[in-house]
Amino acid sequence: MKPIQVGLLGIGTVGSGTFHVLQRNQQEIQGRAGRGIEITMVADLDVERAMRIVGPDVQVVNDARAVIANPEIDIVVELIGGYGIAKALVLEAIAAGKHVVTANKALLAVHGTEIFAAASAKGVMVAFEAAVAGGIPIIKALREGLTANRIQWIAGIINGTTNFILSEMRDKGLDFDVALKEAQALGYAEADPTFDIEGVDAAHKITLMSAIAFGIPVQFDKAYVEGITKLGAADIKYAEQLGYRIKLLGIAKRRLPDATHRADGIELRVHPTLVPAKRLIANVEGAMNAVMAHGDAVGTTLYYGKGAGSEPTASAVIADLVDITRLHTADAAQRVPPLAFQPGAMRNTPVLPMGEVFTSYYLRLRVADEAGVLARVTGLLAEAGINIDAVLQREADEVSGEAATQTDVIILTHDCMEAKMDEALARMQALPTVLQPITRIRKEELA
């Protein structure tokens, strides 16, 4: 049988890894796919560099549209990134009847609904395993492996840069700025790390996972996004003393109506999170990724591995190529939908505003070291109906540079609605004995 012919748009880190892994493991991949898979055409602006990577047997051009226009190309792999030209090229490839594989989480999180609808209308597949958590096959797990389950929640460390920074802050007692510079020096963070450290990259990924888990459209614009830039070494230390670690988590959670919730909805959020140190995910260190998913039948499952890099991400790209090759001649109705649910079965369950989210909290207050301060603070929480789980107070001589006049009060709360906590924090912040902005970090038990 004639091999499936693949065209690459972009042959940078992931593209070169895809080409090399496909060549190296060609026999094994063909045995699994049922026919050969060959990259026969590459588009890249740096034609000379691309030719050095792929050799003389692969056609190299500087125009991506030439790949799309080639009638011999069955699958187009988009590895350009971003929202702009990548979107146009993906839609043009679909219109030309090509299947598409992409690692572009930003594109799908923002424009996925349009792209998937176009692919469905044309009867072609859009596969994106490489868009979330690199080499971890989490998309396939959610879409197929857990298909018998009503998924209750997902929580993931899905950005290696921020996990590396938080690991360095904990291990070495570094402040955020110092840990970021170290991450940049070692190549874990970009020169402009904004998308990573502000949580945007993780939000793209959890948006895609939430759509697959709950059968809702991709809705990146409704995700709550908070990065790690305001975390201090003190918070890492205090969390450790309380038996927790701080991780930047992407969280998607199904909420059903009950006595406290008037309507169902989906929580979709990214933020620093206290996680019990005994949880496996709390011990994921460095640039590694991990995703927990809880289904009603299977319980809690954990997926761990490299979330980025040339060959780990190439592993996911090639898995998509194999899937498409297997289903290339199948009737479109028999294929697995890109978001797991059949188009007519997608739901309009709303993504909840952050004020309606229920979770528990870590609060750190720098206060004057005076009698009655703690009582006033805890009294305000009680008036708001917020129950306290634990309180830690550092003695004045343990607070750097402010001996004898200031102290830190750390409070862990039980679950409450975020809007209630917002009101309580505003009242606490107004106290004259609260000397600095209050630090608030959400807490998840993930039990």
List, by residue number, the catalytic residues.
Answer: 205
d(CA 423, CA 438): 13
State both tokens at 236.
């890492």
The three state secondary structure string of 307-364 is: CCCHHHHHHHHHHHHHHHHHHCCCCHHHCCCCCCCCHHHCCCCCECCHHHCEEEEEEE
- How is residue 258 annotated by DSSP? -
- Which residue matches tokens 């840990």? 179
Three-class SS of residue 116? helix
Q: Are strands 59-61 and 151-157 parallel, antiparallel or unpaired?
A: unpaired
CA distance 29 to 128: 18
- For 215-264, strand residue ranges (E) read 224-225, 244-255
Strand order in the sheet with 59-61: 59-61, 37-43, 4-9, 75-78, 99-102, 126-127
Helix (H, G, I), strand (E, B) or coil at 276: strand
Q: What is residue 213's three-state secondary structure?
A: helix
State the Cα–Cα distance between residues 317 and 312, nearest whole angstrom.
9
| Contacts by residues 422-426 (CB-CB < 8 Å, ≥ 24 positions apart) | 422/355, 423/384, 424/380, 424/381, 424/383, 424/384, 424/386, 425/363
In the numeric block, the tokens 């998309």 are attached to 139
Cα–Cα distance, 408 to 392 (Å, whole number): 8
Residues facing 441 on adjacent strands: 362
